[in-house]
Amino acid sequence: MKILVCISSVPDTTTKINFSENNTKFNTGGVQFVINPNDEFGLTKALILKESNPGSTVTVIHVGPVGNEPVIRKSLAIGADNAIRIDIEALDAVQVANEIAAYVKSNPFDLIITGKESIDYNGSIVPHMLGELLGIASVSPCIGLNINGTSAEMVAVIDGGKENVTSNLPVVVGSQKGLVEEKELRIPNMRGIMQARSKPLTVITSSGSTSSQSVNSYASPAAKSACKMINASNVEELVHLLQNEAKVI
């Protein structure tokens, strides 16, 4: 089985978000970039599937500039067999999806895994868009995946519960916590890091996709005023404030 895992490079969760150039750019100074957390669950799932399906390969793909290669190498250190970097600074999700789809059309895979959403742009666009561009089913968010020969059994998160579905391969799956458990997440060990250096990382030119959105500016959300502390012996005061000041109950 040929498995493709799509990864994004995002600022680590604990990063303080700042803007530069008059708030028109995200300030990357001092920012630690990591594999998008949702993608990590998908990458681990791919490695688990590879182990139970001998002869399978796990390829990682990333759409982005050369500065993102350390994050790609980390996914190789975690255990992917090889990596592809499509050399373009994508400005929106449509561009990312189109680049990946163009690659897959010439290089078919049985299973394509992406994160359900990236923690920087929170689009939730790539998984289903990839499915549509490739004319195949997509399940995202996905918290269960079993491969049976040439078909997949999947558990989709829906509002108010879950839906069990099946599809022939190939299929696109959007991963999140639950596809594998946090404690199952694979992390790079010394051997993995050494091996990653010699695993292939192939750079491919863009298929010529264009973006149709641009960020004019960034802003921080309105700051909250200081927390009003209420005495533990006077919870009636809290209720009064919630009713009359905050007006939420």
Mark residues 51-90: x for contact with other proteins by CB under 8 A, - for none. ----------------------------------------
- Answer for the pair 214, 91: CB distance below 8 angstroms, yes or no: yes
Q: How far apart, in Å, are the Cα atoms of 114 and each of 67, 78, 81, 232?
A: 21, 16, 17, 46
Minimal distance, residue 65 CB to other proteins, in Å = 20
97 closest CA partner among 130, 49, 51: 130
Minimal distance, residue 189 CB to other proteins, in Å = 23
53 closest CA partner among 63, 42, 45: 45
Mark residues 95-114: x for contact with other proteins by CB under 8 A, - for none. --x-----------------
Minimal distance, residue 6 CB to other proteins, in Å = 14
Segment 146-205, which members bind other proteins (CB under 8 A)?
Answer: 153, 157-168, 176-178, 181-183
Does 246 bind other proteins (CB under 8 A)? Our answer is: yes
Among 46, 76, 139, 180, binds other proteins (CB under 8 A): 139
Segment 6-45, which members bind other proteins (CB under 8 A)?
Answer: 11, 13-14, 17, 19, 37-38
In whole angstroms, give the CA distance from residue 176 to residue 102: 25
Start-end of H helices in 53-143? 69-78, 93-106, 126-134
- Answer for the pair 76, 199: CB distance below 8 angstroms, yes or no: yes
Among 93, 104, 147, 169, binds other proteins (CB under 8 A): 93
Among 131, 142, 145, 147, binds other proteins (CB under 8 A): 131
Minimal distance, residue 202 CB to other proteins, in Å = 27
In whole angstroms, give the CA distance from residue 169 to residue 152: 7
In whole angstroms, give the CA distance from residue 64 to residue 130: 17
Rg, Å, the chain Cα set:
21
Segment 206-235, which members bind other proteins (CB under 8 A)?
Answer: 212-221, 224-225, 227-232, 235
